[in-house]
Structure 1
């Protein structure tokens, strides 16, 4: 099917879109100081959570070498940013995981899943897992970013 014909086959949108308004940056005090970035940005009902690593409020990575502990802290940091933006974990529509060691991730899948279910109890958001060579902080083993839609 040619592209123009394929586009015509798609249903027409009937949803009324509200104006998004200007983007609003959100930097909760419970997260490490944001330097050169924002922990979250909201525009309209959509919230983007910037990559969160397993760091405490001072920016120090927790438990270097322990992917499960870093995951638990990173997902907590995502939840803190979500809450500051007026969302809860169940409002999350997309998670992206960046890991420096896919084998370590797989080896710890059961423990990581338990930590995951602390925040996402049943309706799991879409997610992507990507192995990367390194993250900005060399001690970080995992980074998580998220997209959420604020409830009406």
Structure 2
């Protein structure tokens, strides 16, 4: 019996054909009542890139995708306990955090912000990593 459920498995050679990769990963994992969501970016769930050059638009896409993935795993945005936000320029902090804050209003997760030199694709300006805990009464 598996100890966790994999949500939307895929291979990186499909998502990143321009890179020489061959890794089996998934968009989310539910382990018990904990849900781990893969870093969400400008890449929509259909593989298209959203909001090129627009950190706020990329954040909207990332949060929309995260909501869908959490729900597929049996969680809700209100179950988010930790976020890590990666941005490629300090100037993106305000637009990205405003969008994320709107989606997580009243949730109060712990949060870490990191400025990085780059992400998986040069078009990505931001990425958000999410962990959620489903309450026992809903599990």
Q: Same fold (TM over 0.5)?
A: yes
Match of 1:144 in 2: 128
* Structure 2 unaligned spans of 5+: 12-23
CA distance in 2, matches of 1:123, 1:136: 28
CA distance in 1, matches of 2:119, 2:32: 30
Match of 1:91 in 2: 79
**Is residue 46 from structure 1 mapped to residue 34 from structure 2 by the alignment?**
yes
CA distance in 1, matches of 2:117, 2:47: 21
Matched length: 123
Match of 1:76 in 2: 64
Across the aligned residues of Structure 1 and Structure 2, the Cα RMSD in angstroms comes to: 1.7
Larger C-alpha radius of gyration, 1 or 2? 1
Q: Which has the higher strand share?
A: 2
CA distance in 2, matches of 1:59, 1:148: 24
* Matched ranges for 1:3-152 at <5 A: 22-27=3-8, 34-35=10-11, 36-106=24-94, 108=95, 112-113=97-98, 115-152=99-136
Instruction: Report the TM-score when normalising by structure 1.
Output: 0.74
* Structure 1 unaligned spans of 5+: 1-20, 28-32
Deviation per CA, 1:57-84: give whole Å up to 9, x if none: 3322212110000011111111111111
Deviation per CA, 1:19-40: give whole Å up to 9, x if none: xx6121111xxxxx73231111
